[in-house]
Amino acid sequence: MQNIFDLKNKKAIITGGASGLGRAMAEGLYDANAEICIIDVSENIEKVANELVKNGRKVNFVKANLSNREEVKSSFAKALEILGGIDILVNSAGTQKRHPSENFPIEDWDIVLELNLTTVFTMCQMAGREMIKQGHGKIINIASMLSFMGGFTVPAYAASKGGVAQLTKTLTNEWGPKGVNVNAIAPGWMDTPLTEALVGNPDREPGILGRTPAGRWGKPEDLKGTVIFLASSASDFVNGAIIPVDGGYLAK
């Protein structure tokens, strides 16, 4: 039987692919036989790319600051040239700033919205043009629990992730008829650098884990199966979905 999850001969670009959730998803796509290119600002990007290599299959990379609009465009163009095309885009690059809303600096608001939402739109737009021309493609955005709720002291992050969810639906409406699937993954409470202020926090952790039926923090590896599903032909009739990978958090 044909393996509908196999990504052989598929070309994938993953932003934020050098660490955390992005690295795990890049590894998942690579292990499913996709040819990948990670884009990240990390100084360790080449080291990470080499660590992901298995059986001699290359992992491509482009170092770029995705908060800079010109570098967003040039890095996508370079990744596209390296791969020779694009079938899959995963928008995983993101950032977080925490302040009480009444004191939230507008400079931090701009930083978060630029990377978490504007860069996502620009990447989607550039990938979408290529995918519309070829009549197929898979775009996977990374939403959040804060696409559904407000959170505390993170107004910019919540606004950006609410925007990612709505952007995903809008692009689906326009591009679904043209063969492009646009979906999003909403990770639950994951143990990553973005949640370091919460992991072990006696005021926040008990409430988070108490509401999570799985009873633990999520791990980056928990996203591998979902990203492979959304990138593969198994999800050809899945459009505009915001899929929680949250240990049941939203169900409680």
Give me the active site residues, please. Answer: 157
Q: In 3-state terms, what secondary structure has residue 12?
A: strand
**Contacts with 19 (C-beta within 8 Å, 6 or more apart), sequence order:** 40, 42, 44, 48, 193
Distance CA 231, CA 13 (A): 11
CA-to-CA distance for 180 and 160, rounded, in angstroms? 23
Q: Is the separation of the CB atoms in 217 and 190 below 8 Å? A: yes
Q: Read off the amino acid at residue 196.
A: E
Contact 177, 132 (CB under 8 A): no
Task: Spell out the residues 6+ positions from residue 148 whose beta carbon is closer than 8 angstroms to its own.
Answer: 165, 186, 250
Closest to 42 in 3D by CA, of 61, 70, 69, 68: 61
Classify 101 in phi/psi space as left (phi over 0), alpha (psi -120 to 50) or beta: alpha
Q: How far is CA 151 from CA 3, 99, 147, 157, 225, in A?
A: 40, 12, 10, 9, 27
